[in-house]
């Protein structure tokens, strides 16, 4: 069975600095998708970025980028030029491409942005 691990329950970053959130996963599958979702306080969860496992190139969305290391089964999220609005819970998620496309989420990392 697949698992997703986020080992950092909480992280802090100074405004305008860069922070990296860690995510590791375990799977025997060769093809899958990985996602980072953001859940701001009392607001709805939204997609930040996604990565296809068959693509070697790391995904980038504005200030958000990932470091995808397939062999190490690692999928970290880098937030550059951190802003106060980046404060949120961040969830790493894995989606299988075999069977029924089930999602598996990590336990989340709470990111605090310090002014």
Partner 1 sequence: KAGVTQTPRYLIKTRGQQVTLSCSPISGHRSVSWYQQTPGQGLQFLFEYFSETQRNKGNFPGRFSGRQFSNSRSEMNVSTLELGDSALYLCASSSGILPQETQYFGPGTRLLVL
Number of residues binding to partner 1, judged by CB under 8 A: 23
- 97 part of the interface to partner 1, by CB under 8 A: yes
DSSP, residue by residue, 14-79: ETTS-EEE--EEE-S-S-EEEEEEEE-TTS--EEEEEEETT--SPPEETTEEEEEETTTTEEEEEE
- 54 part of the interface to partner 1, by CB under 8 A: no
Residues 44, 56, 57, 85: which binds partner 1 (CB under 8 A)?
A: 44
- 25 part of the interface to partner 1, by CB under 8 A: no
Residues 7, 14, 26, 46: which binds partner 1 (CB under 8 A)?
A: 46
Q: How far apart are CA 50 and CA 57, in angstroms?
A: 12
- 100 part of the interface to partner 1, by CB under 8 A: yes
Q: How far apart are CA 46 and CA 94, in angstroms?
A: 15
Return the range that interacts with partner 1 (CB under 8 A); candidates 18-26, 56-64, 69-77, 99-107. 99-107
Q: How far, CA to CA in Å, does 8 sit from each of 22, 95, 96, 112?
A: 7, 21, 24, 12
**Given the rule CB under 8 A, which residues bind partner 1?**
6, 33, 37, 43-47, 50, 52, 91, 93, 95, 97, 100-108
């Amino acid at each position: 069975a697949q698992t997703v691990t986020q080992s950092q329950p909480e992280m802090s970053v100074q405004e305008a600095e860069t922070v990296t959130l860690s995510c590791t996963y375990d799977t025997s599958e060769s093809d899958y998708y990985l996602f980072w979702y953001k859940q701001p306080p009392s607001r709805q969860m939204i997609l930040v970025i996604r990565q296809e496992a068959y693509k070697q190139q790391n995904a980038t969305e504005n200030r958000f980028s990932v470091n995808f290391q397939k062999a190490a089964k690692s999928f970290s999220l880098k937030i550059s030029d951190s802003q106060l609005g980046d404060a949120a819970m961040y969830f790493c998620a894995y989606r299988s491409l075999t069977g029924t496309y089930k999602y598996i989420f990590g336990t989340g990392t709470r990111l605090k942005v310090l002014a």
